[in-house]
Amino acid sequence: MKHVIALNINGDTYEVLVSPNKTILEVLRDQLGLMGTKRGCDLGVCGTCTVLMDGEPYLSCLTLAMDAVGREILTIEGLSQEGDFDPLQRAFIEKGAVQCGFCTPGMILTAKAILDEEGKPTEESIKKKMAGNLCRCTGYKKIVEAVLSVATQTEREE
Amino acid sequence: MEPKSIQEASSILLDDPKAKILAGGTDLLVNMKHRVEVPSVIVNIKRISHLDFIEKKNGAIGIGALTSLKSIYTNPLIGKNLRALTLAASSVGSYHHQSMGTIGGNICQQNRCKYFNQSHWWRSSRPLCFKAGGEICHVVNKKGICYSSYSGDVAPVLLALNAKVILETKTATREIPLESLFSGDGKVPLNLQGGEILREITIPQEASDGFSTYVKIANRESIDFPIVSIALWASMKRKEVRVSFTAVDRRPVRAKGVEDFLGGKELNEETLEEAVGLSSQEATPVKTSLYSPSYKRKVMGLLLKSALKEAMRRAGR
């Protein structure tokens, strides 16, 4: 039996008709056309489907859509403000941290969760927490550099 | 289904024995995608309030079943008193799994086996294994028995800390030692009676008075189940050591032989070596992963050695 549920995604409310076995990943991509969130392994190993739920990194392939009711979901589409890139997105471009780009949305959202949680994370902490996001182009060094640059940037602004 | 209370959830479980509980989802949903678990109904318990807490009660520490692994290792009360629990919770899966996963779900996770945790397609090359609904356990080639390994990170630590669990049904509540929650049966790893739901974990006050550690050996440091892990609690004052291992048997095991041997003795090089010799007898690993039982037994000894040495160093200070 399908249910009508309201999801809060990137600040907007979407009413969708879902069967209880649908994951948020499926709803985002197949029903709402928000293709920024990628499907990789679909088993919670690769991290590319990461979205933020109430600021926490969640694997959207392992989260049922019905379970997300009442929570704030942030996808890569909701990160840029008024057409301007988020500092993390800009850093990824400037540092050359994007190769094929498939892992990038998950990487950026996980990085955002780390920065929001820790403020000024160390390189070690970034590496440990981003270990659940796989990059098959193996561009990890640039990715860590990009996240670190934002971490130190916020320090300067303060 | 999204019950609002344990009682309500419990009666759904009683009405439908094939219903399954969903908490963090990082174990159940993966198994469902692999078609090794096919529940008739999913009971999402996350809408039940008052199950996400860490609090001190009469010296003991109570942890609600829905407390996320991340809130456990970032909690100062646990960080200060129960180092091993911090280490174990932060070693589960990746950052994402730690944010999503709950302590209750981690304890109650399914046993694992290389013939079970595979896609439907992968498994289609041979008959279903006993755990997945077939007749034969492919690990030992026997009928009617399952040798899958319990591979959780948190349970061995809680065993070494002598934790208890509170189980609740529609009508009753009981508190049992965590150790008796595990059945030792690979097919049904938990001793839960009809409709029972894990509500809370309590860690006794004395657990905070000792040294504790958790050492995990895994293929990848970043995101993996343990090949073998050890949890150790030691009190030099009481001359007591408690040891448990995970991923070496059908349940997380307390190394009673090692504990009895070390109890009341001074920890020194000699007793350490002898204890290490005893450790491999404490479990019966079988080949449920890529690693051989003899390798696992060796690693058990090495882990015990390094954990005991760490305990001695701390005591020396």
Q: Rounded distance, CA A121 to CA A148, Å?
A: 8
In this structure, the answer to whether residues A111 and A56 fall within a common structural domain is no
Question: Which residue type sits at B191?
Answer: N
B-chain residue closest to A45, CA distance: B223
Same domain membership, residue A60 and residue A107: no
List the structure tokens of B290: 């890529």
Going through B42-154 in order, the beta strands assigned E by DSSP cover: 42-44, 54-57, 60-64, 136-137, 142-143
Q: Are residues A137 and A92 in the same domain?
A: yes
Per DSSP, the residues of B50-86 read S-S-EEEETTEEEEETT-BHHHHHT-HHHHHH-HHHH
pLDDT per residue as tens digits for the range A115-130: 999 888 899 999 999 9
Predicted pLDDT at A155? 56
In degrees, rounded to 5, the angle at the alpha carbon of residue A116 between the alpha carbons of residues A115 and A118 is: 65
Query: What pLDDT was estimated at residue A18?
Result: 94
B132/chain A closest Cα distance in angstroms: 18
Q: Please measure the distance between the N-terminal and C-terminal CA atoms of chain B and give it in whole angstroms.
A: 54
- Residues B14, A140: Cα–Cα separation, whole Å: 49
What pLDDT does B229 receive? 92
* CB contact B96 to A (< 8 Å): yes
Tokens standing for residue B138: 């492919």
Q: What is the pLDDT of residues B114-163, one digit of tens each?
A: 888 888 888 888 888 988 888 889 888 888 889 999 999 999 999 999 99
Structure tokens at B299: 């690693």
Q: Does residue B43 register a pLDDT over 60?
A: yes
pLDDT at res. B109: 92
Task: Indicate whether A9 and A60 sit together in one domain.
Answer: yes
Judgement on whether residues A122 and A72 belong to the same structural domain of the protein:
no
A56 → closest Cβ in B44, B99, B222: B99
Interface mutation vs chain B, best among A39, A54, A59, A107, most B CBs within 10 Å? A59
pLDDT of residue B166: 93
- Which of A78, A104, A130 terminates a domain? The answer is A78
Range of the domain at A128: 87-157
Distance CA B131, CA B129 (A): 6
Residues of chain A in contact with residue B96, where contact means CB-CB under 8 angstroms, are: 44, 47, 50, 57-59, 110, 132
Q: Please give the average per-residue pLDDT across A3-14, as a whole number.
A: 93
ipTM: 0.89
Residue from A19, A92, A26 nearest A62 by CA: A26
Nearest to B99 among A57, A67, A130 (CB): A57
- Which residue among A57, A58, A67 places its CB closest to the CB of B46? A67
Q: How far apart are the first and last CA of chain A?
A: 52
* CA distances in angstroms from B41 to A6, A82, B38, B168, B303, listed in the order given: 22, 43, 9, 20, 41
* Shared domain check, A97 and A45: no
* HSE value, Cβ hemisphere, 13 Å, CA-based, for B195: 17
In this prediction, residue A111 has a pLDDT band, given cuts at 50, 70 and 90, of very high
pLDDT reading at B316 higher than 70: no
**What CA–CA distance (Å, rounded) separates B204 from B63?**
12
The letter for the amino acid at B153 is: D
Is the CB of residue B29 less than 8 Å away from at least one CB of chain A?
yes
pLDDT at residue B287 is higher than 90: no
Do A122 and A62 belong to one domain?
A: no
**Final residue belonging to a domain, choices A37, A61, A78:** A78
Residue B74 Cα, gap to closest chain A Cα (Å): 11
**pLDDT of A109 above 70:** yes
Same domain, A51 and A108: no
Q: Same domain for A47 and A100? A: no
* Overall domain count for chain A: 2
- Residue A95 belongs to domain with CATH number: 1.10.150.120
Residues A73 and A91 in one domain: no
Residue in chain A closest to B94 (alpha carbons) equals A132
- The whole-number pLDDT of residue B238 equals 83
The answer to whether residues B99 and B193 touch, using CB atoms and an 8 Å cutoff, is no
The answer to whether residues A43 and A106 belong to one domain is: no
pLDDT at A112: 93
Q: A107 and A66: one domain?
A: no
Q: Domains in chain B, ordered, with CATH?
A: 49-206 (3.30.465.10), 211-316 (3.30.390.50)
Helix B269-279 with B293-316: angle, nearest 10 deg:
150
Mean pLDDT of A51-71: 93
CA–CA gap between residue B89 and residue B124 (Å, rounded): 35
Last-in-domain residue among A37, A54, A78: A78
A13-27, B69-83, B215-229: range with lowest mean pLDDT: B215-229
